[in-house]
Amino acid sequence: MTGARTEDRLVAALHARADLVRPEDLTPLVTPARPRPRWGAYALAAAAIAAMVAAPLVVDALRSTSAPPPGPAAPTVSTVPSPSATASPTESAAPKGKLHTVRGIADVDGDRQRDAVTMTYRTGRGVASFELHVSVTLATGATSTATADVSEVPVLLKPRDIVGDGRELLIVRAEGGDSDVPQFFAYRQGRLQHLAVAQDTPPLTGSIDADGRVLRWWFDGQGRLFSARSTKPLGQASSVPVEVFRWTVQPAPGGGPLLAATKLPGTRCYDLVNGETTSAC
């Protein structure tokens, strides 16, 4: 019963207070304004969330680019080039062969003083031909070198003055099989030069050509150079009729000196046994 009386007393009190409220005591109803969003705070929050999301990705990226964990050492690779880097994997570099040096003396400039002569070439495995290097050192100290290629082992012969002007030619002989080919070097125009043979001249060699004709060359007692070419095939005879040529050194227009041949009148016979020419067959 006590609870009912208390409730009645509260209701009576509220009614009494409501009677005391007058119209002027009431204020207009105002709807409270909603707070404006704080965009700066939103941006900070978004950046924080993005950083939290990106952090694992950054860690993974750092892990992928960092050095691998310690482990067994990898095999090292040498950067020193191989000595045969330019050669085929299955073929070794060609050997240079053995160097040969031959020395002599001559008067190549006609000053009646001895000049030093040196000839060098290589032989050995892999050397298909011989590259001659012929050099001369004058009495004055000046040096000059000329080169030539031969197919047989070269021999340095006695120098000869084939022109008669006091200047000796250096002569290298390369003889093998049925071929005997001389090489001549002359000191002209202030340097040593390998002499070429002028056009329209007979071959300067000791052999038999494709037509069976005999070819020979020699020096006479005065050091002059001659060659012979038979007018018909050799056959069974011990001597054959030949044309004889005298060789000299002549200047070439616009170039160095040349070996040139002049045919002597008539024909002679060449003795194949003794290697001599006679006036009649």
Q: Which pLDDT score, from 0 to 100, does residue 45 have?
A: 42
Taking CA atoms, 8 is separated from 4, 17, 19, 149, 180, in Å, by 6, 14, 17, 145, 157
Output the pTM of the full model. Answer: 0.64
Q: Alpha-carbon distance 155 to 174, whole Å?
A: 6
Q: Which pLDDT score, from 0 to 100, does residue 35 have?
A: 47
Q: Alpha-carbon distance 172 to 204, whole Å?
A: 13
Give Cα 29 to chain centroid, integer Å: 104
Q: Which pLDDT score, from 0 to 100, does residue 182 have?
A: 93
Q: In what order do the strands lie in the sheet with 115-123?
A: 98-106, 115-123, 130-137, 143-150
Q: How confident is the model at residue 22 (pLDDT cuts 50, 70, 90)?
A: low
Return the HEC string of 20-76: HCCHHHCCCCCCCCCCCCCHHHHHHHHHHHHHHHHHHHHHHHHHHHCCCCCCCCCCC
Q: How confident is the model at residue 156 (pLDDT cuts 50, 70, 90)?
A: very high
Closest CA to 196 of 252, 153, 133, 145: 252
- Higher-confidence residue of 272 and 145: namely 145
Query: In the predicted model, is pLDDT for residue 37 greater than 50?
Result: no
Q: What angle do CA 135, 136, 140 make, to 5 degrees?
A: 150
How much is the CA Rg of the chain, to the nearest whole Å? 56
pLDDT tens digits, 244-279? 999 999 987 677 899 999 999 988 888 877 777 766
Q: Which amino acid is at 28?
A: P
Query: In the predicted model, is pLDDT for residue 50 greater than 50?
Result: no
With tokens 């400039």, the residue in question is 109
Among 80-94, 203-217, 230-244, where is mean pLDDT lowest? 80-94
- Higher-confidence residue of 281 and 240: namely 240
Q: How confident is the model at residue 92 (pLDDT cuts 50, 70, 90)?
A: very low
% of the chain residues with pLDDT over 70: 63
Handedness of CA 144, 203, 157, 178 (dihedral sign): positive
